[in-house]
Amino acid sequence: MSIQKVSTRPFKDQRPGTSGLRKKVTTFQQPHYLENFIQSIFDVIGEIKGKTIVLGGDGRFHNKEALQIIIKMAAANGIGRTMVGLGGILSTPAASCVIRKHNLLGGIILSASHNPGGPKGDFGVKYNVENGGPSPGHVTESFYRRSLEINTYCFFDAPDVDLEQLGENRIGDMVVEIFDSVADYAGLMERLFDFDRMKELFSSGKFSMVYDGMNAVTGPYARAIFEGRLGAPLGTVINGDPLPDFGGIHPDPNLKHARELVEIMNSENAPDFGAASDGDGDRNMILGRRFFVTPSDSLAILAANADLVPGYSGGLSGIARSMPTSMAADRVAEALGIQCYETPTGWKFFGNLLDAGKVTLCGEESFGTGSDHMREKDGLWAVLFWLNLLAAKEEPVKKIVQDHWRKFGRNFYSRHDYEGLEPDSANGLMDHLRESLTCLMGKYFGNYEVEIADDFSYTDPVDGSLSTGQGIRIIFRGASRIVFRLSGTGTEGAILRVYLERYEIDTERQDQDTQEALSDLIIIANNIAQIHTRTGRDMPSVIT
């Protein structure tokens, strides 16, 4: 066994997006491609000699092969200990939990989140820093700059490590610890939530639940917590085995891709509660019997009822939401007398607010919710929060949501995604919108008068950093909105996201169909952005 210095040449396409470097599996399988990016990380993150990192992934195709490479590179670069999730499995929230609990240097997570898996699917790598959160923009940009000049990487020539057995191994001077990645995370959940009350809910025989792991990373966690510690019946967790291709499921927990769960929850004998998480476990979808809870409403409802949950009964310091997320949480914050921060999309923007103690809960419309218990969004945490509320209130999901609307008003909300667009067309559409902003101010579209039209920018209240070009906002008098953004989470083409929101205080009009309630805004959005003319699309790819 020996350390080798391998000659290489830079790849020009290794600039990370909002959630790390995501490419097709075949791209990562190119000789030196993964190694170049990992070496760039090790070269940039500072003094690593003798330090400990955590490592794992969501089980997608190429996960185990990539882990073996990274373990050997960590040993060659002087890392003292690498903690690897059993079987190579480690959810993104669990990685954040482990980093924070054990005061680690950071962690490398192998995932493309909610993107499809398999040999022709997607793969991804991201580095989480010492607070457990994603690397800030200036750090990921440093990775990219280093990747453009790299000419060698370090590799330890050694046999592969057995990832299926708990215990310690050694490569050179580095200890490789294969650990139970569920234990620390489940223990943290027990400290936050009322497990005894939730156990009673299941033991009563009057409550039923189904959780869809989507053949992704959260299956082992969900089984250990719901069927193990909480006593839910076996079979409560479906699609609970992580598979390299996710069993052909697109692991994005929404109404389109979580079809099996949606069919179960819409059936005649539907369970009381349904939920799902995505590929790496940081997203969640919440369903009641024949009832869907939007992520925006979910954040607001968790905040409004946080006093019922032990870990949050002392009150909230503040709430944060991404700019495209509906303003439902703003109304709860106002009622609680706390601040609600509007940030750009990307969980890293919540990190400073959480570290500074300015917020307790945070969330994004893209099915991500979290709190100050870690520095990542956390799918199972959100499901447990809802389960705790159901146990405390002893009311169905639908009633909890409707009562919230009656008190705070309803923010009708939907996101229309146009996937796989030609980048030039998508960028041209956004350029057209930016050029139109000054002309839109004060303009009427039917009964809607434009009050604000801008390209959202954000000044971080903690460090003063400025983020510009974060999405086009068209805000009408009366708090209705249309937002346009290009997403950075795909690997093929561009994704245009159109967010539509209408506030309704009249309780007699709060129960209408969402798309019907937003029909006027849908037409207005298409006309303002010239979506059909510029993209050739008549309909969105996905509506959530």
Residues annotated as catalytic (active site), given as ranges: 113
| Cβ atoms 354, 341 nearer than 8 A | no
b/e code 346-366 from CB counts within 10 Å (16+ = b): bbbbbbbbbeeebbbbbbbbb
Pairing of strands 209-212, 273-277: parallel
The CA distance from 245 to 222, in Å, is: 19
The CA distance from 488 to 500, in Å, is: 20
Cα 518–Cα 503–Cα 412 angle in degrees, nearest 5: 45
| Cβ atoms 192, 311 nearer than 8 A | yes
CA distances from 432 to 42, 428, 435, 437, 439 (A): 41, 6, 5, 9, 12
The CA distance from 100 to 95, in Å, is: 9
Structure tokens at 375: 């520095």
CA distances from 200 to 204, 228, 302, 382, 430 (A): 6, 14, 21, 19, 52
What does DSSP assign to residue 530?
A: T
In the chain, the amino acid numbered 243 is L
* Helical segments of 371-496, H only: 379-393, 397-408, 423-440
Other C-beta atoms within 10 Å of 458: how many?
Answer: 16
The CA distance from 351 to 357, in Å, is: 10
β partners of residue 371: 361
Q: Give one DSSP letter per residue of 89-148, joined into a string.
A: E--HHHHHHHHHHTT-SEEEEE--TTS--STTSEEEEEEE-TTSSBPPHHHHHHHHHHHT
The CA distance from 228 to 264, in Å, is: 23
CA distances from 273 to 21, 209, 269, 397 (A): 35, 5, 12, 7
- From the list 107, 68, 98, the residue with the least C-alpha distance to 187 is 98
The CA distance from 257 to 250, in Å, is: 6
Phi-psi domain of 446 (left: phi exceeds 0; alpha: psi -120 through 50; beta: other):
left
What does DSSP assign to residue 27?
A: H
b/e code 79-97 from CB counts within 10 Å (16+ = b): bbbbbbbbbbbbbbbbbbb
